[in-house]
A and B are shown apart, each in its own frame.
Chain A
Amino acid sequence: MAPHERKTRLSDLALLGVVLALTALGGCRSQKQRTVNLVGSTSVQPFAELLAQEYQSRHPELNVEVQGGGSTAGIQALENGIAEIGMSSRSLTEAEKAKGLVPIAIARDGLAIVVHPSNGVTGLSRQQIQSIFSGLITNWRQVGGSDMPIRPITREEGSGTREEFIKRVMGKVRVSRGALVQESNGAVKELVRGDPGAIGYMSLGLVGGELKVLAVDGVEPSVEGIAQGKYPLAREFLFVRHGELSSDAQAFVDFVLSDDAQHLLESEGLVRTK
Chain B
Amino acid sequence: MRISPANTQRIMVVALWTLAAMTVFTLLFILGYVLYHGLPHVTWSFLTESPRRMGKEGGIFPMIVGTAMVAGLAVLIAGPIGVATAIYLTEYTREGKITAIIRFGADCLAGIPSIIFGLFGFVFFVITLGMGLSVMAGALTLAIMVLPTIIRTSEEAIRAVPRSFSDVSMGLGATRWQTVTRVVLRSASPGIVTGIVLSIGRCISETAALMLTAGSALRMPHSALDSCRTLALHFYTLMREGISPAHAWATASVLIVVILLINLVAYWLMRRFVARTV
A and B bound?
yes
Interface residues of A (CB under 8 A from B): 3, 6-7, 9-10, 13, 17, 20-21, 23-24, 27-30, 32-33, 42, 45-46, 49-50, 53, 63, 65-69, 80, 82, 183-187, 189-190
B54 at the binding interface (Cβ < 8 Å): yes
Closest 6 CB pairs of A and B: A186-B242, A186-B241, A27-B223, A20-B72, A28-B223, A46-B54
Contact with A along B52-63 (1 / 0, CB 8 A): 111000000000
Determine the chain A residues whose CB is within 8 A of the CB of B240 once the complex forms. Answer: 183-184, 186-187
Determine the chain A residues whose CB is within 8 A of the CB of B52 once the complex forms. Answer: 53
Of A17, A32, A53, A185, which is within 8 A of B223 by CB? A32
A67 and B221 alpha carbons, distance in the complex (Å): 13
Of A3, A20, A28, A183, which is within 8 A of B225 by CB? A28
A20 and B221 alpha carbons, distance in the complex (Å): 15
Q: A6-B189, A67-B216, A82-B132 are in contact. Are A184 and B223 (CB under 8 A)?
A: no
Name A3's closest neighbour in chain B (CB-CB). Answer: B186
Contact at B223–A10, with CB atoms within 8 Å?
no
Of A23, A29, A68, A82, which is within 8 A of B216 by CB? A68
A219 and B221 alpha carbons, distance in the complex (Å): 46
B81 CB → nearest A CB, Å: 14
Determine the chain B residues whose CB is within 8 A of the CB of A7 once the complex forms. Answer: 186
A80 and B127 alpha carbons, distance in the complex (Å): 9
Determine the chain B residues whose CB is within 8 A of the CB of A189 once the complex forms. Answer: 242
Determine the chain A residues whose CB is within 8 A of the CB of B193 once the complex forms. Answer: 13
Of A24, A32, A66, which is within 8 A of B76 by CB? A24
B232 CB → nearest A CB, Å: 16
B142 at the binding interface (Cβ < 8 Å): no
A29 and B224 alpha carbons, distance in the complex (Å): 9
B215 at the binding interface (Cβ < 8 Å): yes
Determine the chain B residues whose CB is within 8 A of the CB of A23 once the complex forms. Answer: 69, 72
Contact at A28–B224, with CB atoms within 8 Å?
yes
Q: A24-B72, A24-B73, A67-B133 are in contact. Are A49 and B54 (CB under 8 A)?
A: yes
Of B54, B222, B239, which is within 8 A of A27 by CB? B222
Determine the chain A residues whose CB is within 8 A of the CB of B54 once the complex forms. Answer: 45-46, 49-50
Interface residues of B (CB under 8 A from A): 52-54, 69, 72-73, 76, 79, 127, 132-133, 186-187, 189-190, 193, 215-219, 221-225, 227, 237, 239-243
A259 and B192 alpha carbons, distance in the complex (Å): 60
Determine the chain A residues whose CB is within 8 A of the CB of B53 once the complex forms. Answer: 46, 49-50, 53
Contact at B242–A187, with CB atoms within 8 Å?
yes
Determine the chain A residues whose CB is within 8 A of the CB of B76 once the complex forms. Answer: 17, 20-21, 24
Determine the chain A residues whose CB is within 8 A of the CB of B186 once the complex forms. Answer: 3, 6-7, 10
Q: 15 more A-B contacts (CB under 8 A) besides A67-B217, A185-B242?
A: A6-B189, A21-B76, A23-B72, A30-B223, A42-B241, A49-B54, A50-B53, A53-B52, A53-B53, A66-B217, A183-B240, A184-B240, A186-B241, A187-B240, A189-B242
Among B72, B193, B219, the one with the most A-chain Cβ atoms within 10 Å of its Cβ is B219
A224 CB → nearest B CB, Å: 26
20 pairs, CB–CB < 8 Å, chain A vs chain B: A17-B79, A21-B76, A23-B69, A23-B72, A27-B222, A28-B225, A30-B222, A30-B223, A32-B222, A42-B241, A46-B241, A49-B54, A53-B52, A69-B215, A69-B216, A82-B133, A184-B241, A185-B242, A187-B240, A189-B242
Determine the chain A residues whose CB is within 8 A of the CB of B219 once the complex forms. Answer: 63, 65
Contact at A24–B224, with CB atoms within 8 Å?
yes
A33 and B215 alpha carbons, distance in the complex (Å): 19
B261 CB → nearest A CB, Å: 15
Determine the chain A residues whose CB is within 8 A of the CB of B132 once the complex forms. Answer: 82
Determine the chain A residues whose CB is within 8 A of the CB of B221 once the complex forms. Answer: 27
B148 CB → nearest A CB, Å: 21
B214 CB → nearest A CB, Å: 11
